Chains A and B, each alone.
Chain A
Amino acid sequence: MPYIPHTSNDLAQMLRTIGVDSIEDLFDEIPKDLRSKLQNIPLGQSEMAVQQQLFAKSLQDGTPLCFAGGGAYEHYIPAALWEIATRGEFYSAYTPYQAEASQGTLQVIYEYQSMIASLTAMDVSNASLYDGASGLAEAVLMAVRANRKAKSKRILIPESVSPVYRQVVETIVKNQGITLELLPYDQRTGTIQVNQLDKQLNKPDDAFAALIIPQPNYFGSLEEVHQLTDWAHRHKALVIAQVNPISLALLEAPGNWGEHGADIAVGEAQALGIPLSSGGPYIGFLACKQKLVRQLPGRLVGRTVDLEGKTGFTLTLQAREQHIRRSKATSNICTNQGLMATAVTLYLAFLGRDGLQKVATTCALNTQTLMHLLEQNSDLSFPFGDRVFHEFIVQLPVPIDKVLSYLAQEDIVGGIDVSPHKHSTEQKNWLLICVTETKTEQELHFFADTLRSICQQINNEESS
């Protein structure tokens, strides 16, 4: 029987020991009228038969050339990474409740926390969260808890934060009396303009708990993070930096933004060694300044000693968590994203500082190459310019949904439709394109050429 090792002799002996005639007798406390059988589920199959079906399903749609980002990024993953991460000792262990029997997982998480803190230039990181979007929601809740001085449950969230991230934050925090106030972006740069911010406040001393600063923002553009951080701190608000970890090899880390640095850094760490896999499982990281450590949600691993004075690792500050504090916990989060945190740690260990810098630089250079290629087509323009890391918006002369559908027929994931339908009377066809280190020169030319010919084709169809 699949995954059940019992022999018929075992079964007979076990039933005799228990003192019942059949397994069915063990369910005698369940009211009879509630019992039912499973109906519309197929019968079990052999591993070979299942493998054949899944091979077919995985091949059905090919492996298209990907130029989409928007929070999920294609990067090269070292071959050794998942070989180690899926070792049974990592893959099939659980939350390290018994620290002495989980030193492997615990040390990996301590190393993960150290690496994330280093990348973001923050003092401490937690053991990870579900994903970047829910991580941003946890950062918002944390900021409201931490900034009691502001006596405000108001959060300023720029429109240049990913719309799906904004929706997730809304879903998670809306029942706790928190208001999310949208900051419009500048139409020329796609970024938040500091000189517009004071106008957003009803009166100059209007309090708010935190300002979220995305870097790079959803459109790929770089925000003036130093000015924005100082502005928020002048208003006694906390700064939540939402950042891409690969970009931090090149861009200033949140801990060093402005005069005092951001207070909380959060983001999606999928780019660090985790496959795209249709959107999950990913991993959210969350780091902060030392003074906020007791407001951090989720697991934390600390270094300590055993009773012989030998170094070891253990879960710590558990008094913040739901299994101790119950209704007064900092969050309802139960576990971290252990396997993904292991993968991120392995990625950063394999790549090292210079490896990550090479990945990031190659992303940026490849992006510039594609922008130059697209620039040669006079029908295309870049509404927010080219001050970007590895993503940018290009305005096309034809509807994006059609373009993406035609590109799909050429086996290309062409990007994300970010046309601002709701706010604009004139039709703007905006495509968000991402280029990482994985793209060859040849692929960039192929994509630029295909995009040009598809735009022409659609133009012809529409004018005929």
Chain B
Amino acid sequence: MSKRIIDQDAEPLIFDLSDNTRQSSSLAPKTGSEQNNPLASHLQRKSTLDLPQVGELQVLRHYTRLSQKNFSIDTHFYPLGSCTMKYNPRVCNTLAQLPGFSTRHPMAHSSISQGIMSCLFDLQTILKEATGMQQVSLTPMAGAQGEFAGVAMIRAYHDHNQAPLRSEIIVPDAAHGTNPATAVMCGYTVKEIPTNDQGDIDIQALEKMIGPQTAGIMLTNPSTLGVFERDIKHIAKLIHQAGGLLYYDGANLNAILGKVKPGDMGFDVIHMNLHKTFSTPHGGGGPGSGPIGVSERLQPFIPIPIVAHNEQGYYWLNEDDLPLSIGRLSAWMGNVGILLRAYIYALLLGRDGMERVADYATLNANYLFKRLVAADFEMAFPKRRASHEFILTLRKEAKNYGTSAMDFAKRLLDYGYHAPTTYFPLLVPECFLIEPTETESMADLDAFIETLIKIKAEAKESPNLLKEAPFELPVRRLDDVKAARELDLNFYHQE
């Protein structure tokens, strides 16, 4: 049965194309030479330097071909839940690469950096307004670093108030793995709180868990289960009464942009994933950008630097202005090139466009949800409204046909769809977390639904089509066990 329709030749490694006797092209300066090392001789490099010697066209072709072995938003529907794989408008990239922005050194005098500083200041203002927070710092370089900044601020706040007993952070069992990992990096013990059968936090369990040892709680809302946490006001009250603080994981902000603000739900600190909600590139896994917003009481602890403005113009606030700040998270002022893309996206959308983001992201998710229910797929929370994403469980199919969620995922690849997030959250068996985003058309959603229905029929009739998938990609299913047991991480050094 396993016949590949398109056979793609393997692309050799760049090192295989190298010939040591080849000289570099016009890309290197004419001055300077290989032989002429002007530095102190006992500190000079004596060991060989292995780098590929390949012609310019051959390099260009190699990487162009490699790019064609990727699925991406620009080429495929990519409903990866919790990652918000929406269209990245090209103009954001084009404008961020203008020489006036891209060639600017971070230490350029502020008198000749007013243009970029005004963009950053305006972005701070837009993000404050969009989230209902009192102040925003743009410096965290990714969502996980934004999380770190948030929990570090919670700790700084308690330390400042001399509350050393507060040693615990509460995290839902369905939370992103970064939440507990971050809490530990900040020196906290993690307490996991269960979820009830409707996908909401188990309030009784929460009440028992809260006490004078509670430093705070980390929540995502809508949660990682794809539903809105309806008891959020009550939860906020309970945590605040106990002297704890609330942290908002902004992974799912796309679902509520312009509808409800984390600040109004009672959160004290939030991070945003600009590569999700504000459509900056995912880049094959980074760069991210994770600005944080804070309520009044955490304002003194905000990471530096942040941009301020007075009648003389824009200027940086640093440690002298914010002596209680948790400090610096990056050498300079965050991923400015990414912040610029998010700013451009925000200008294009405006407040009207932002409201439509949540509207159509939610519409697309609920449409998929209803149509898949009609096609007899099982939902993890069938009685709930889907937010911008939802969880489908393939446990019936696993039991009846022996096909796992991973098999379904791999077969989807054959049909030209990137698979949804699989096996997350961990508490739903054989699950798909599906997030279509607002930029997909109804026709594309329909085609995706038809494909899932077709794969389900295949699972029943010829399950090996799923179990052995993919057939039509550059490689068949890969041996992960071998990859981990016989580590091969470096062409030049084989263990």
In the assembled complex, the Cα of A290 lies from the Cα of B106 at a distance in Å of 35
Residues of A within 8 A of B112 (CB): 61-62, 64, 408, 411, 413
Whether the pair B334, A99 counts as a contact (CB closer than 8 A) is no
Contact with A along B47-60 (1 / 0, CB 8 A): 10111111010011
**Which stretch (B183-191, B237-245, B291-299, B389-397) binds chain A?**
B183-191
Assess the B349–A44 pair: CB atoms within 8 A: yes
In angstroms, Cα B51 to Cα A114, docked, is 9
Asked if B181 is at the interface of the complex by the 8 Å CB criterion, the answer is yes
Complex alpha-carbon distance, A111 and B284, angstroms: 15
Decide yes or no whether A351 CB sits under 8 A from chain B.
Answer: yes
CB of A220 to closest CB in B, whole Å:
12
Chain B residues contacting A130 (CB-CB under 8 Å) are 141-142, 145, 286-287, 330
> B331, A71: Cβ atoms under 8 Å?
yes
User: Is B72 a contact of A90 with CB atoms below 8 Å?
Assistant: yes
Question: Which residues of chain B are within 8 angstroms of A53 by Cβ–Cβ distance?
Answer: 347
Q: What CA separation (Å) do A361 and B426 show in the bound complex?
A: 53
Given contacts A40-B125, A60-B114, contact A175 B85 (CB under 8 A): no
**CB nearest to B24 among chain A residues:** A355
Task: Find out whether the CB atom of A60 lies under 8 angstroms from the CB atom of B100.
Answer: yes
A420 within 8 A of B: no
| Interface-lining segment among A22-30, A151-159, A192-200 | A22-30
- Point out the residues of chain A lying under 8 angstroms from B106, CB to CB: 72, 276, 278-280
Q: Is the CB of B478 within 8 A of A171?
A: no
- What B residues does A408 contact at CB under 8 A? 108-109, 111-112
Inter-chain contact A413/B105, CB cutoff 8 Å? yes
CB neighbors of B among A32-63 (8 A): 34-45, 47, 50-51, 53-63
Whether A3 lies near B100 (C-beta < 8 A) is no
Contact with A along B67-89 (1 / 0, CB 8 A): 11111111110101001011111
- Interface positions, chain A 330-344, Cβ under 8 Å from B, are 331-342
The chain A residue with its CB closest to the CB of B327 is: A171
Contacting pair B107 A349 (CB below 8 A): no
Contact, CB under 8 Å: B287 / A114: no
Contact of B442 among A6, A276, A306 (CB under 8 A): A6
A233–B482 Cα distance when bound, in Å, is 34
Q: Mark A296-338, 1 if CB is under 8 A from B, else 0.
A: 0001111111111011111011010111111111011111111
Q: Which residues of B contact A117 (CB under 8 A)?
A: 489-490, 492-493
19 contacts between A and B (CB under 8 A): A41-B351, A76-B27, A90-B72, A98-B419, A104-B66, A105-B284, A110-B13, A171-B303, A275-B97, A277-B102, A277-B337, A278-B336, A279-B331, A279-B332, A299-B285, A304-B480, A308-B476, A332-B148, A348-B52
* Given A90-B284, A310-B10, A339-B284, A168 contacting B45 (CB threshold 8 A): no
Contacts of B196 in A (CB 8 A): none
> In the complex, A365 Cα to B30 Cα: how many Å?
13
Give every chain B residue within 8 A of A204 (Cβ-Cβ): none
Contact of A249 among B49, B91, B421, B468 (CB under 8 A): B49
Write out, one digit per residue, whether chain A residues 226-257 have a CB within 8 A of any chain B CB (1) or not (0). 10000000000000000000001111110110
Q: Judge whether B480 and A437 touch: CB under 8 Å.
A: no
Q: B32 contacts A38, CB within 8 Å? A: no
Q: Are A281 and B476 in contact (CB under 8 A)?
A: no
Q: Is the CB of A4 within 8 A of B356?
A: yes
Given contacts A30-B260, A100-B470, contact A302 B49 (CB under 8 A): no
Task: Tell me, rounded to whole Å, the shortest Cβ–Cβ distance linking A439 to chain B.
Answer: 11
A352 CA to B333 CA in the complex, in Å?
Answer: 32
Quick check: A123 and B360 within 8 Å, CB to CB?
A: no
Instruction: Tell me which residues across on chain B come within 8 A of A74, comparing CB atoms.
Output: 103, 105
B39 touches A36 (CB 8 A): no
Q: Are A101 and B70 in contact (CB under 8 A)?
A: yes
Q: Which stretch from A9-17, A375-383, A421-429, A450-458 is at the chain B interface?
A: A9-17
Partner of B28, one of A11, A26, A162, A354: A354
Distance (whole angstroms) from the CB of A28 to the closest CB of chain B: 7
A1–B349 Cα distance when bound, in Å, is 9
Instruction: Evaluate whether A108 and B181 lie within 8 angstroms (CB atoms) in the complex, with A37-B258, A102-B71, A306-B477 already known.
Output: no
B114 pairs with A337, CB closer than 8 A = no
Report the 7 A-B pairs with minimum CB-CB distance, sorted nearest first: A279-B332, A88-B74, A339-B283, A44-B350, A58-B100, A361-B32, A279-B106
Whether B115 lies near A337 (C-beta < 8 A) is: no
Asked if B400 is at the interface of the complex by the 8 Å CB criterion, the answer is: no
Chain B residue at smallest Cβ distance from A71 = B331
- Measured CB to CB, the closest approach of chain A to B359, in angstroms, equals 5
Neighbouring B residues of A249 by C-beta, 8 Å: 45, 49
Q: B332-378: which residues lie under 8 A (CB-CB) from chain A? A: 332-338, 344, 346-356, 358-360, 362-364, 366-367, 369-371
Query: A68-B108, A80-B59, A177-B187 given. 5 additional CB < 8 A pairs?
Result: A86-B93, A110-B489, A299-B285, A307-B476, A340-B287
Interchain CB contact under 8 A, B484 and A316 = yes
B51 CB contacts on chain A under 8 angstroms: 115, 118-119, 348, 351-353, 356
Give the distance in Å from the alpha carbon of A322 to the alpha carbon of B11 in the complex: 32
| Closest residue on chain B to residue A33 by CB atoms | B233
The answer, yes or no, to whether B430 is at the interface (CB within 8 Å) is no
The answer to whether residues A307 and B351 also contact, given A90-B284, A277-B336, A413-B109 and a CB cut-off of 8 A, is: no
* B442 CB contacts on chain A under 8 angstroms: 6, 10, 13-14
Cα–Cα, bound, A11→B11 (Å): 44
List chain B residues, Cβ under 8 A from A125: 489-490
User: Is A334 in contact with B107, judged by CB distance below 8 angstroms?
Assistant: no
- Given the interface contacts A26-B385, A30-B228, A306-B476, does A3 sit within 8 Å of B354 by beta carbon? no
Minimum CB–CB distance from B16 to chain A (whole Å) comes to 11
Would you call A111 and B56 a contact (CB within 8 A)?
A: no
Q: Is A393 an interface residue (CB 8 A)?
A: no
The yes or no answer to B40 lying at the interface (CB within 8 A) is yes
Question: Which residues 31-45 of B have a CB within 8 angstroms of A?
Answer: 31-34, 36-40, 42-45
Chain A residues with CB under 8 Å of B186's CB are: 175
| Chain A residues within 8 Å of B22, by CB | 352
B407 at the interface (CB under 8 A from A): no
Whether B44 pairs with A352 at a CB distance below 8 angstroms is no
Q: Residue-by-residue, is B240-275 near A (CB-CB < 8 Å gives 1, otherwise 0)?
A: 000000000000000010111100110000000000
Q: Is B193 an interface residue (CB 8 A)?
A: no
Asked whether, in the complex, the Cβ of A36 is within 8 Å of the Cβ of B355, the reply is no
**B208 interface hit (Cβ, 8 Å):** no
Return B453 CB to nearest CB of chain A, in Å.
15
Most buried by B among A23, A119, A127: A23
